[in-house]
Structure 1
Amino acid sequence: MSVRIVNAESALSKPLFSSYTGLPISKLSGSPRSYSLSLGQFGRRRRGGGAVVAALDSATITPLTGVVFQPFEEVKNDAFVVPVTSQASLARQRYAAECEAAINEQINVEYNVSYVYHSLFAYFDRDNIAFKGFAKFFKKSSEEEREDAEKLMKYQNVRGGRVKLYSLVMPLSEFVHVEKGDALYAMELALSLEKLTNEKLLKLHAVAEKNNDTQMQDFIEREFLTEQVEAIKKIAEYVTQLRMVGKGHGVWHFDQMLLHEDGEDVL
């Protein structure tokens, strides 16, 4: 089939254009350049054994929404200018200084809680305490909190912020309690720490909401909040069970349960 290119002005006369659209001539108005075809940027009509192709000027085609996206003009906005200084983040966009500071504070929270759990691990791993199950539980808890801190650090870098690590508070090294015993006291302390961490995360989410940072809100909800409430429920059940067994032989059985949980018994 032969194809012949013609000028859009001459090709899109009303009689010819009506054969493209199926509209009667009486329904057509305006200049041919203003017509839009379902063929995209080309009009085509069979003529004998060949076809006539008319190139249309895309700049004259009005979009259905009435909104024209002009990227080369819109990127001139100051919000999209790429920084030239080596000290400025190239990736940062709509990331408020308040959100950046709040992320750094949450990193400090996670590291401090991890520090306390690590101290609990060291306590229960002593030869004169020898609760291997509790030691395993608190070692794993410490690692999880540190992983959360690192997750926040990575997010800070993704958003173009700067990670700032603050000082850690020295935790206790003795967890003996005359009335409750060390096992119950330690687990109640863990429950309080998990609730405190959850409260801090909710405040972090509120900062993101205040600054209309939808992406940061989604990150906190997806990566932290669900996991946190599940941890609170799990440790709350441990506290209840330890209160029932008291300070006697039942604590040893509870320790064995923690030791063999998840099929792992090696520290």
Structure 2
Amino acid sequence: MKVLALIVLLSIAISSAHARLKCNEKSSDIPRDFLDMTRGCIKEVRRQIQAEIDASMQYLAMGAHFAKDTVNLHGFSDFFFKAAGEEREHATKLIEYLLMRGQLTDDVSNLISVNNPQKVSWANGSEALKQALKTEAKVTKSIRNVIEKCENDYNTNDYHLVDFLTGGFLQEQYTGQRDLAGKISTLDKLMATQGRFGEFLFDKQILK
């Protein structure tokens, strides 16, 4: 009984001490002079973040499809899982950019949604690569729309963001698109002469 009473007293003492030590957080009064992105431009960057996440989900579905035991083409699977990671990295870079510019003040859950991929199975690797190229072309067009908006929003040219997207993102997009186009050409030629065995060779030799 004495032990129980001692525990109760200790609990009361700890609660009282916690109440005295609790900090009342005060929001910082930060000058807003450095916030110079326009609303239209911010909206476009946020939209692009969602576009990158959607592309990542599509590539995850591709990677999972080719990893299934009934398909078992791990070259394709690894290729698409890597592509999914790259799209997530792009989304992260854009989030970090908004943070740097002081333009991300709400919860990230209000910024992005996890949408289901448009497609979850493919007849062969060529079909998947062709969809991947269409996905990349769509993302590229979306980035160009961001650049156009941020160049001309209310007669304000956001030089830094435009350079950030043009020099980094667009360069990677165009390089990736050309690589996909080359892979599609090679795979289609192999499958035209060797059929499924050509796809197998492509998976084991070229994608590895």
TM-score range normalised by the length of the shorter chain: 0.7 to 0.9
Q: Runs of 5+ in structure 1 lacking a partner?
A: 1-83, 177-181, 261-267
Which residue is 2:179 aligned to?
Answer: 234
Q: Runs of 5+ in structure 2 lacking a partner?
A: 1-25
Q: Comparing both structures, which one devotes a greater share of its residues to helix? A: 2
Indicate yes or no: 2:88 matched with 1:143.
Answer: no
TM-score, length-scaled by structure 1: 0.61
Indicate yes or no: 2:202 matched with 1:254.
Answer: yes
Letter in 2 for 1:122: A
Q: From the superposition, tell whether residues 196 and 89 of structure 1 become closer, same or farther in structure 2 (CA, over 3 Å).
A: farther
Which residue is 1:98 aligned to?
Answer: 40
Q: From the superposition, tell whether residues 91 and 130 of structure 1 become closer, same or farther in structure 2 (CA, over 3 Å).
A: farther
Superposition deviation, residue 165 in structure 1: 2.1
Letter in 1 for 2:186: Q
Separation (CA, whole Å) in 2 of partners of 1:242 and 1:89: 57
Alignment counterpart, residue 192 of structure 1, candidates 109, 134, 156: 134
Larger Rg: 1
Which residue is 1:165 aligned to?
Answer: 111
Q: From the superposition, tell whether residues 94 and 248 of structure 1 become closer, same or farther in structure 2 (CA, over 3 Å).
A: same
Which residue is 1:212 aligned to?
Answer: 157
Q: Comparing both structures, which one devotes a greater share of its residues to strand? A: 1
Q: Once superposed, what is the RMSD of the aligned Cα atoms?
A: 2.0
Separation (CA, whole Å) in 1 of partners of 2:31 and 2:126: 48
Aligned partners of 2:187 and 2:199 also within 8 Å: yes
How many correspondences in the alignment? Answer: 172
TM-score, length-scaled by structure 2: 0.77
Alignment of 1:35-184 (within 5 A): 86=28, 90=32, 92-162=34-104, 164-171=110-117, 172-176=119-123, 182-184=124-126
Aligned partners of 1:91 and 1:160 also within 8 Å: no
Which residue is 1:15 aligned to?
Answer: none
Separation (CA, whole Å) in 2 of partners of 1:147 and 1:89: 31
